[in-house]
Structure 1
Amino acid sequence: MNNIFELRGELNSSKPKNNKPVPQLKGLKLETDTIQQFRIQLEKIRQFWESEKYLDGALVSIHYKRVIPKSSRVNRILGTRSKRSSKFICGAKYKGFDENSIGKTHIITYYISIEQLTDTIQLLKFLENITDTQFDGMATEKKINELKSFFKRDSYSYSELVQGFVDLKEIESFSIEKEVLNENGNHMLTFYKTSINLDRLFEKLNIDLLNIEKIDEQTYVFSKRDMDVILKEVPYLVSMGLKDLNEVSPIQFQLSKPIYELKEIPDPDDEPVIGVIDMHFKKGSTYFDKWVDYKRVTSNEIELNAADYEHGTRVSSIIVDGPSLNPHLDDHCGRFRVRHFGIGASGKLNNSTALKQIRDIVENNLDIKVWNISLGSELEVSRNYMSVQGALLDELQFKYDVLFIVAGTNKPAKIVNKSYRIGSPADSLNSIVVNSVSLKKEVPPYARKGPVLSFFIKPDLSYYGGTIEEPINVVSASGEITHAMGTSYAAPWIARKASYLIEKMGIPREVAKALLIDSAADWDTQQQFEVGYGIVPVSIYDVLQSKENEIRFVMSGKMKNTEIYTHRLPVNAIDGKHPFKAKVTMTYFPKCDRYNGVDYSCTELDIHFGRVYEDKKGNFQIKAINANHQGEDGIHVCYEETARKTFRKWDNVKHLEEKVNEKSKDVKAMTENGFWGIKINERERLDEKYGEDIDFGIVITLKEIHGKNRYTDFINRCIAHGWIVNEINIEHRTTIYNVAEEEIEWD
């Protein structure tokens, strides 16, 4: 086996290009009747908002013909002459879902003034008249370009005319979106960000403020009666609605048969600490009691029953001593200390209380880098917006250097035989979400599936969480060793591995996440919405080492400007050819905005990796192993649907790989030195620069297709070309960790 190693060196950066996008008229065919139809829709919308008594302004939704990229969304329509339309976006969702819950088209909602709406109507009248009188009822690229030479400015400039036509090209219709909910029980409603004061609105609707529960500035929990009032009077103000998630509870299937006598283990020393946020831990009854620092967060006024200690105790038992309890799953990570925070009672959690508790717990314990959460909702996540719990975890991971490992949630017992989407907070984008598989690597009946927001691959990974035939051994609250199964008991194993990588090996969390995903994603991986990128190997050695015919190394850094790159990775070339196939995994933790709906992640990092070549202009370029042309100059066109599906645009996990089989052949070196390169481009969904200085982690594997070990040769070539190589030797780094944790006694 070859050790993986860290490659360090200076990456070049490019300053952002100041070129404004040029409106694209290509393919435009717009009839007078279509523009007229749009105008009439907007006039009806204006009429509605002028008579509406609660909101000072207008909410207008644009239905696009497809999943629309940022660059093709309206610019002048619904905007002003000084502000682009994007400044007024307050929500986004999908419609027209396929069998995998993938959205087919975009609906973008804008909050604008009545004056802006009137201005847009006037602009459409102008375009309608031009199309009818100058273009014989059909606006095309050719006709608009011919008009330029004799165009006389009236109310609008020629550039506004062009932008207006380009904006309308992708639009299907305009509407006022109204949220509809028919379920019984309390509901959580999120309102669009507008100028309205929500407390005053509720008073006008005769809703008692004492009877509603505030989750955040725009989100509240209402009774069925109050929700009905809102959806009758102001349904257009509600951007997101779902049944209240008070049902957040332990994710478990318990098999209570005791199987072993009690054990003994040494006292804890300087082992890494993993944070557990769960139901409660039964102090004083388990053999590993000294390994768990239990903190009750639930109010002392609330009485806990015996069942409230069961789930949390079982989860912590895996983190502390899982390999001893399950020798067949010995990950060689040793034991871990646990700081266990007990929240909730009677098997359920109050939503707003739990959110505040989780925030306080993490912010007051920032010395803990890895957190395990095996709690979740029985309800399915929405196709169109992130749960408040998932959004909280994403916010905390964006702000702080922490990593959440989240159980993928189990199906409710009554629907085990049906397909069922995962529940919150397993929709968290930045977290590692873990589903369960059997020891035979089969998906158990209780496992749920993604995607999240109709796009993001969740779960990320799978691990062994037990089945009836092959359960996981855990310690119950009574101290007995017993059987259990569920995603609750798969997640702690990944928390152990993540903590080992971060704490003992000193690896950044971005690289640790990438390593776990990369180790699960074998060559020619097909991502699945039940197992994610694959099943993580049992032994940590298989995460930190590669086969003898593979070279595996990691890189990390911060984004500078909007592009960073290197063209000097000296991949071995034999007789002018590279005998390698490659795979790459990159992860980062972006800022996310729940109010943007399906446009949830604010920053995109796009990676290109492959051989370096010189183009006709004498510039060095990268021939990406996945034929990625996003952001490149020239004739290459990459549509949004392709960019998302093929290159995972807007996903914070990028995994690209070449197929390896018996027909694999060497590839020609494209420069004299046989260099390969990496390029990372940064894009922002909004005008704010959330991606500045964002950290990223990369794992690169080169597989020698003839079975030869070229590990040492590659390292020597890297050193010769100025790279710093730090081998990740498990024994050496463990020794360094142990020495660093020793307490020094001064004489």
Structure 2
Amino acid sequence: MNNLLQLKGQFQTKGARRPGLPQLPKNGEVTAKHLLDLRQQLVEIKDYWQKKQIPFDPLISVYYKKITAKSNRIRRLLGGGSSGATNFIVGARFEGDYQNTHHVITYCVSESIVDDSIDILDSCVALAQQYGGVINCEIMHQLQQIPTKKWSYKPPKSIFSQVIRDAYFAERFGIRAQQEAVDGWAVVNIYDTGFSNVRDFLNDLGLRITPDQVLGSALRLSPEQYSVLIGKYPFLVSMAISDISELTPAEFDEAGINPLNIPKPGNEPIIGVIDTPFDDNAYFSDWVESINLIPSEIEIRPEDCAHGTKVASLIVDGPSLMPNLNDGCGRFRVRHFGVAPGSRSDAFAFMRRVKSIVEQNRDIKVWNISQGSMREVARNFISPEGATLDELQSRFDDIVFVVAGTNQTLEKQQKIGAPADSINSLVVNATSFSGETASYSRSGPVLEFFKKPDVCAVGGDDDDRMYAYAGNGGSWVQGTSFAAPWIARKMAYLMQIMGFNREVAKALIIDAAAGWDFRDDSKRGYGQVPIRIEDLVKSKDDEIKFVLTGIADSYETYNFDIPVPVVNSKHPYIARATLCYFPPCDRRQGVDYTSTELDLHFGRIDDKGNLRALNNNRQGENNDFTTEATARNSYRKWDNVKHIGENFRNSQRGRKAYKTQMWGLKIRKTTRWDKPASAPFGNLRFGIVVTLREMGGMNRIDEFIQKCSLRGWIVHSVDVQNRVDIYNAAEVEIDFNE
């Protein structure tokens, strides 16, 4: 097998092109009647808010015609005398059925901005009526050809053009005030209307909230408080969900006591486990630092410790318990936090505990969470638990959560449960030992788009279960709870022993799962991860696998100097590439949850110096007309994992090698925000794994390394044993008194 290669080189950057005047799509048109309707809707909305006499700026929802790209959202309308309406967005959701899904985006704007939009629509109506009451693509173009000095109409040319484009994509304005019923205590988010302190804001509205009921932008309200809020201010609530979650039960059969021997722990990497309490009677208890965070007044029975202890047993000593799943990663120590006994969990308490645990244990880089809710994820917002994990992974750039995909316990239950909807986490579903999708698997996607789960691993099934251990002996178990630890082990090995950052480690796992025969599957994610770690950090003799990492700090980050070998004027390779990054997220933005998009382009460099992407991705290119639906479905726009893959066929022929004989990659970065100063994002680190497969079965890795070195790349061949030796040497404790 060939070693994995690390390529280090210089990425070039380039800023975005300055946009021209707004245009209508071909065959698109806007009528004066539609402009008048929009104006009248704003007048009625203004009147509604004035009668309410609310102490905050009006909330206005824009109902778009379809799922709408950022570039097609209103900019001048509700833009406050500029084209900055995007910066007033406080929430987004989907409405309509699967065939007719469309965006509903809520803006919080001042009354003066509403007045400005009404006035601008008046002017645009007057101009549209001079052209027969219809502005189409051709008329728009004719008007834009009029020199600015000769423009005699009231709305300036640039404003008129933008308002017409705004009106084309916006179907109507409205007020959204419908709320679902919530049983018991509720976790609630309210629209950000500009308050600096949500507790003070609600107290001013007459709703007395104590400090322990607030966590970031989330509130924990009693049934009475929630009833008062939606009774008086229903339009303030952007999302609400019950605070109590039924946890998915684990299934296991006791196998009796089977004493096992284990050596004393050394300086092995530590994996954090957040689960039910740990049973100190387990044979591997020396390997586990147990911390119980359950209030002392709650009685903890031995059976309350079973789930967490079994999860820990697989992390510590999985290869001994299940030799046929020996991954080659060795043993790991565990720092185990008991947070939830029994079958019910308080979501708000979970969020507080997880934030505190991670903040106080910064030496832990990989966290395993094998608990999840029976309740299916919501259509239009991430669960509070999932959002907490995403926020932590955005704030700390060296941690990752590995989360179980939750088990199906009811026939009608299909979607995964919290916190498996965490976008940045590595979410794991289960398979049987034969590789079939486990019978209890639940499915994604999340927010009707994001691919969850990410991958799957063996978790056992009815006909063949997994062996795990608790304080009272072994058990035959099944569930995503027991698939996740095998992936947590691999993440810890890749990050803490091999020294990869989390972006590359996650990309290696997803890339290995996808392989050369990737098929989209809502229950398997990108596929089943190979059992052995060497299948992630090595490649076959006819393959070249290399990793790159960088920081996206401009609109474009690129390198066009990857010298893929050439034979008879052709590149005899198929290829695949996987990109991973951890974007900032904002639960208050609903379905527009991730703030930053990295778009991956990978392929040959033609004679004109242009990159010809493997998947024909032309987003951002000149004369590009990729729709938002195509960008999401074909190129995974806004997802934080991008995978470009080709299937291997024996009849394939080599690709033409252009004069450059180079391949390249380009990453385009965009954000949902117009003003970077007000956007929750900065420079974003990424990791990429590229695998090349020689069509004729030849091993050309030495030629590739030589050519890369000549092109200025620093090439490291990743020797697994060498990395292990370096880790062991670095972890040796030195006594300077000897």
Fold match by TM threshold 0.5: yes
Cα separation, partners in 2 of 1:83 and 1:162, compared to 1, 3 Å:
closer
C-alpha distance in 2 between matches for 1:30 and 1:66: 16
Shift, 1:179, TM fit: 3.0
SS class of match (1:575)? coil
Report the more deviating stretch, 662-671 or 183-192: 183-192
Secondary structure in structure 2 of the residue aligned to 1:4:
strand
Change (3 A) 1:453 1:21: farther
C-alpha contact (below 8 Å) 2:401/2:425 kept by paired residues = yes
Deviation at residue 213 of structure 1 after TM alignment: 6.3
Alpha-carbon distance in structure 1 between the residues aligned to 2:56 and 2:680? 30
| One-letter identity of the residue aligned with 2:711 | H
Give the whole-Å Cα distance in 2 for the aligned partners of 1:342 and 1:286: 15
Alignment of 1:17-166 (within 5 A): 17=16, 19-27=18-26, 28-82=28-82, 84-98=84-98, 104-132=101-129, 134-147=130-143, 149=146, 153=152, 155-166=154-165
From 628, 636, 642, the equivalent of 2:617 is 628
Aligned to 1:738: 728
Aligned to 1:296: 292
| Corresponding residue for residue 670 of structure 1 | 658
Bigger mean CA offset, 114-123 vs 138-147: 138-147
Task: Say whether residues 1:332 and 2:328 are aligned partners.
Answer: yes
SS in 2 for 1:380: coil
Aligned to 2:426: 432
Q: Does 1:683 align with 2:676?
A: no
Q: Which of the numbers 590, 593, 598 marks the counterpart of 1:597?
A: 590
Encode CA deviations 1:281-326: one digit per residue, 9 max, x unaligned. 011x111010001112223343322232111111100000011111
Q: Distance in 1 between the 2:199 and 2:585 partners?
A: 26
Tell whether the 8 Å contact from 1:393 to 1:431 is kept in structure 2 after alignment: yes
The match for 2:711 is 721
Q: Distance in 2 between matches of 1:268 and 1:209?
A: 47
What is the RMSD of the two structures over their aligned residues, measured on CA atoms?
Answer: 2.1
Which residue number corresponds to residue 699 of structure 1? 689
CA contact under 8 A between 1:305 and 1:346: conserved in structure 2?
no
Q: Distance in 2 between matches of 1:201 and 1:398?
A: 27
**Could you tell me how far apart the structure 2 residues matched to 1:89 and 1:653 are?**
25
Which residue identity is paired with 2:583?
A: P
Residues 311-366 of structure 1, C-alpha deviation per residue, up to 9 Å, x if partnerless? 11111000000111111111111110001111133443333222121111111111
Distance (Å, rounded) in 2 between the aligned partners of 1:228 and 1:43: 30
* SS of equivalent residue, structure 1 residue 349: strand
User: For the residues of structure 1 that align with 2:208 and 2:9, how far apart are their CA atoms?
Assistant: 61
1:644 aligns with 632
Q: What's 1:477 paired with?
A: 471
Under a length normalisation based on structure 2, what TM-score does the superposition of the two structures give?
Answer: 0.95
The offset of 1:260, in angstroms, is: 5.1
Change (3 A) 1:218 1:735: closer
Amino acid at match of 2:22: P
What amino acid is aligned across from residue 75 of structure 1 in structure 2? R
Determine whether 1:467 maps to 2:454. no
CA distance in 2 between counterparts of 1:492 and 1:708 reads 37
Matched-pair contact (CA < 8 Å) for 1:291–1:337 = yes
Query: For 1:212-260, what per-residue CA distance to the aligned partner results, in whole angstroms no more than 9, with x for missing partners?
Result: 962434422333343333333221111112222x2264x4423232255
CA distance in structure 2 between the partners assigned to 1:682 and 1:455 by the alignment = 19
1:642 CA drift (Å) = 1.0
Contact kept? 2:305, 2:341, Cα under 8 Å: no
Task: Supply the distance in 2 between the matched residues of 1:60 and 1:730 (Cα, whole angstroms).
Answer: 57
Indicate the percent of aligned positions where both proteins have the same amino acid: 39
Match of 2:39, SS? helix
Distance 1:631 1:239, change over 3 A: same
Q: CA deviation at 1:119?
A: 1.9
Inter-partner Cα distance in structure 1 for 2:200 and 2:329: 56
Q: 1:287 and 1:199, CA in 2 relative to 1: closer, same or farther beyond 3 A?
A: closer
CA change 1:183–1:694 in 2 (3 A) is closer
For residues 154 and 347 of structure 1, the distance between their equivalents in structure 2, rounded to whole angstroms, comes to 68
1:527 aligned residue: 520
**1:654 & 1:472 partners in 2: Cα distance?**
32
- Check conservation: 2:460, 2:477, Cα contact below 8 A: yes
Structure 1 equivalent of residue 12 of structure 2: 12
Aligned partners of 1:56 and 1:255: how far apart in 2? Answer: 54
Q: Give the Cα–Cα distance (whole angstroms) in 2 for the partners of residues 499 and 117 of structure 1.
A: 53
Distance 1:162 1:295, change over 3 A: same
Matched position secondary structure for 1:10 = coil
Of stretches 216-225 and 508-517 in structure 1, the one that deviates more from structure 2 is: 216-225
Distance 1:743 1:737 in 2: 12
SS at match of 2:669: strand
Q: Give the stretch that moved more between structures: 513-522 or 77-86.
A: 77-86
* Matching residue's letter, 2:305: Y
TM-score (norm: length of structure 1): 0.93
Match of 1:655 among 643, 647, 650: 643
Partner letter of residue 172 of structure 1?
A: E
Which residue of 2 is the match for residue 276 of structure 1?
A: 273
Partner-residue secondary structure (3-state), 1:564: strand
Q: Is the 8 A contact 1:213 1:352 kept in 2?
A: no
Aligned positions of 1:470-549 closer than 5 A? 470-478=464-472, 480-549=473-542
The one-letter amino acid of 2:87's match is: K
Deviations 1:379-403 (A, max 9, x none): 1111111112111111111121101
Shift of 1:208: 5.0
Count of residue pairs the alignment pairs up: 728
State how 1:238-253 maps to structure 2 within 5 Å: 238-244=237-243, 246-247=244-245, 249=247, 251-253=248-250
Residues 622 and 678 in structure 1, CA contact (< 8 A), matched pair in contact too: yes
Deviation at 1:202, TM superposition (A): 5.1
The offset of 1:719, in angstroms, is: 2.1
Asked whether the 8 Å contact 1:179–1:239 carries over to 2, the reply is: no
- 1:518 maps to a residue whose letter is D
Is 1:267 matched with 2:264?
A: yes
Are 2:329 and 1:363 aligned? Answer: no
Return 5+ residue gaps in structure 2 as ranges: none
Moved more, 251-260 or 430-439: 251-260
Matched with 1:168 is 167
Question: One-letter code of the match for 1:388?
Answer: P
Change (3 A) 1:54 1:162: same
Partner of 1:442: 436
Aligned AA for 1:80? Answer: G
